[in-house]
């Protein structure tokens, strides 16, 4: 099964890994808009998730079966999140397609997440468990997983639950992107939840760790909101183009471009320029900064192609000039090749009815 949100690609250390910037799910005949890459769940957090998967991945190869993993989770072991990690890995494997449709397994994990949310324990291992239960549920192809994921995305009794909300939002984005429609009974709630998740609480804590976690949650919510074909969602994304977080702005722009909205253009130009640094960039290694730039650039280029195809009425000259500069990038072959492919699309014969 092709996963619309995650794909294998080279990470900051050059190894193939799962990450969340796929453009592989361009809609084909199901009425959805073409896919735009997730700019960033801030990339250091993506890396951390991948490293956890790699660290505990051997568990999924050690003969464990899903029923035994769930049984261990139900015993509330302090290291239960490791079993949840293993379940995520098993569900994501091509051989796990039957698991992704397993009603009994889905319902068991739903009950576990609901119980954990109700208990509200704030120890690190319980927070990690709730986060990975959300990730596991996001892999399923069953409608009953959406409501508990919305519960998790709406629950924040303590700043430590921001990470759980972010994991739930990632899972919701994956679930919704994989389907041409969601159950009508939750459609309005889905919109309300995502709109609420993109608003900064007035009482946000000011310490650096809490601010970074909040920015990550908002960036993921912005990405999820960009999947919805709802005017309220698009209007909110326009507001988020002015957010203080680089990743929130970039995901908002990518989401708007997915629906042909020209308001995305100034932020896309910022993304192509590559000069805006986030706090994570400042602390990152040189290799991680290269990786991030490739992800951001790829998303901006794909977004421009979608705006061009949508016949967006823009001042295209600055954007084309930026793409041409990238097509001559002397340092990064990946960016150079991506920019050249985008130029081929943008410099093709003029679309009918479009005048510069």
What does the alpha-carbon distance between residue 203 and residue 234 come to, in Å, rounded to a whole number? 26
Is 139 domain-assigned? yes
Is 193 domain-assigned? yes
Is 325 domain-assigned? no
Compute, in degrees rounded to 10, the torsion defined by CA atoms 93, 98, 102, 108.
-30
What average pLDDT score do residues 88-116 get?
93
- Name the average pLDDT for the chain: 81
What does the alpha-carbon distance between residue 91 and residue 101 come to, in Å, rounded to a whole number? 10
Question: Which of 58 and 114 is assigned the larger pLDDT?
Answer: 114
Number of domains in the chain: 1
What does the alpha-carbon distance between residue 97 and residue 325 come to, in Å, rounded to a whole number? 43
Is 293 domain-assigned? no
Which helix (H) or strand (E) covers residue 272, if one does?
helix 265-273
Is 348 domain-assigned? no
56-65, 143-152, 200-209: lowest mean pLDDT where?
Answer: 56-65
Contact 199, 248 (CB under 8 A): no
What average pLDDT score do residues 92-119 get?
94
Range of the domain at 108: 7-260
Split at pLDDT 50, 70, 90, the class of 77 is low
User: What's the whole-model pTM score?
Assistant: 0.82
**Residue among 192, 247, 191, 240 at smallest CA distance from 217:** 247
**pLDDT value of residue 153:** 98
135-139, 209-213, 317-321: lowest mean pLDDT where?
Answer: 209-213
**pLDDT value of residue 47:** 41
Is 187 domain-assigned? yes
Contact 37, 302 (CB under 8 A): yes
81-85, 138-142, 316-320: lowest mean pLDDT where?
Answer: 81-85
**Residue among 81, 80, 87 at smallest CA distance from 64:** 87
Beta strands in 12-51 (DSSP E): 16-19
**pLDDT value of residue 16:** 36
Is 278 domain-assigned? no
What average pLDDT score do residues 246-250 get?
96
Is 31 domain-assigned? yes
Share of the chain above pLDDT 70, in %: 76
Assign residue 194 the CATH number of its domain.
1.25.10.10
What average pLDDT score do residues 188-193 get?
95
């Amino acid at each position: 099964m092709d996963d619309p949100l995650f794909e294998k690609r080279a990470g900051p250390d050059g190894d193939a890994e799962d990450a969340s910037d796929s453009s592989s799910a361009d809609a084909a005949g199901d009425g959805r808009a073409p896919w735009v890459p997730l700019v960033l769940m801030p990339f250091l957090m993506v890396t951390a998730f991948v490293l956890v998967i790699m660290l505990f991945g051997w568990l999924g190869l050690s003969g464990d079966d899903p029923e035994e993993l769930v049984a261990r989770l139900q015993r509330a072991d302090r290291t239960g999140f490791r079993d949840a990690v293993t379940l995520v890995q098993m569900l994501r494997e091509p051989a796990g397609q039957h698991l992704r449709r397993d009603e009994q397994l889905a319902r068991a994990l739903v009950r576990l997440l609901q119980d954990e949310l109700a208990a509200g324990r704030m120890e690190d291992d319980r927070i990690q468990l709730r986060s990975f239960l959300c990730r596991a549920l996001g892999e399923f192809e069953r409608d009953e997983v959406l409501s508990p994921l919305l519960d998790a995305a709406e629950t924040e009794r303590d700043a430590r639950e921001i990470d759980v909300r972010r994991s739930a939002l990632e899972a919701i984005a994956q679930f919704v992107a994989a389907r041409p429609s969601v159950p009508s009974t939750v459609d309005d709630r889905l919109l309300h939840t995502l709109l609420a998740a993109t608003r900064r609480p007035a009482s946000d804590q000011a310490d650096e760790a809490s601010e970074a976690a909040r920015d990550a949650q908002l960036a993921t919510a912005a990405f999820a909101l960009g999947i919805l074909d709802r005017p309220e969602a698009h209007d909110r994304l326009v507001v988020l183009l002015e957010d203080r977080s680089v990743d929130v702005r970039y995901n908002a722009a990518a989401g708007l471009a997915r629906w042909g909205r020209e308001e995305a253009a100034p932020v896309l130009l910022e993304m192509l320029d590559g000069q805006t640094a986030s706090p994570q960039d400042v602390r990152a290694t040189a290799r991680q900064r290269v990786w991030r730039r490739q992800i951001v650039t790829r998303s901006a280029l794909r977004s421009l192609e979608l705006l061009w195809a949508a016949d967006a009425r823009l001042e295209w000259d600055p954007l084309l000039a930026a793409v041409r500069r990238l097509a001559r990038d002397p340092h990064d072959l990946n960016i150079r090749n991506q920019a050249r492919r985008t130029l081929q699309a943008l410099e093709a014969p003029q679309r009918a009815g479009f005048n510069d």
